[in-house]
Amino acid sequence: MSSKSEMIRWSPRVSQQKILLLYEKDAKGIIDEELIDDIAFSFFVRCQDIITVTDASLGRVKCIRCGNLIFHKGKKEEILGCKNCLWETNWGTYLKSYQKKQLHGGGALDVFKNFIVKLPKARTPEEKMILIDQLIHEAHQWTDAKSQGPVFTRPAAVNIIKGKMKEVMLFLDQLSRSKKRKKSHDIWKKKLLTWDNYVKEHEKKEKK
Ligand SMILES: [Zn+2]
């Protein structure tokens, strides 16, 4: 079983260094098409993997050889066998392959799906740059029945850029930006404040 589990591979998160270089060039008005395409493609395959993993966690595993769907009930010893190409593993092995890798889409699943749909339609480097910029400035959304409006719990960037959550947040704060990339960052900061406010309100209510 272990040799088969080694075949489950996931695309890595993109390094901060690469994003840094992209934004430094972008801020100077340098259009590096190759770098934009490289990062856009890395995000594209990463987003695909996030969708695949999220589906798997909900009971639908995509066969890693042929893409055939295999349904399961979430028991670790349960055998996942593809009827099409005979690839086989068990749920425990599959689960282990993606755990602690920030591959679950959670409350940002639609954000990753959106990128997959839009990137192939982007033609110019600027169109691709806008999609990259939007993607790294997204957040996991959570709706609590008691709170007004959506609460954004954590940055989506953690799923696609290397580093711990605080490091990634700090990284995005410190990226050099041109004027036209400032707005997305400002909106992102506001979104993330909804979580801080939610926690504060919750604490106040508990003290009463
Ligand atoms: Zn198969």
96 CA → ligand 1 middle, Å: 20
**Percentage of the residues of the chain whose pLDDT score is greater than 90:** 85
112 CA → ligand 1 middle, Å: 25
Identify the band that residue 32 occupies on the pLDDT scale cut at 50, 70 and 90.
Answer: very high
Q: What is the mean pLDDT of the chain?
A: 93
- Give residue-wise pLDDT tens across range 97-131: 999 999 999 999 999 999 999 999 999 999 999 99
| Long-range CB pairs of 177-181, under 8 A, 24+ apart, other chains included | 177/23, 177/26, 177/27, 178/26, 178/27, 178/29, 181/23, 181/26, 181/27, 181/133
Q: E-strand spans in the chain?
A: 60-62, 69-71, 79-81, 88-90, 139-142, 151-155
62 CA → ligand 1 middle, Å: 8
Locate the domains of the chain by residue range.
2-207
- Give residue-wise pLDDT tens across range 150-201: 899 999 999 999 999 999 999 999 998 999 999 999 999 999 999 988 888 8
61 beta partners: 70
Which H or E element spans position 109?
helix 109-118
Q: Indicate the SS3 state at residue 182.
A: helix
Q: How far apart are CA 77 and CA 198, in angstroms?
A: 39
80 CA → ligand 1 middle, Å: 10
Beta-carbon neighbours within 5 Å of ion ligand 1: 63, 65-66, 68, 82, 84-85, 87
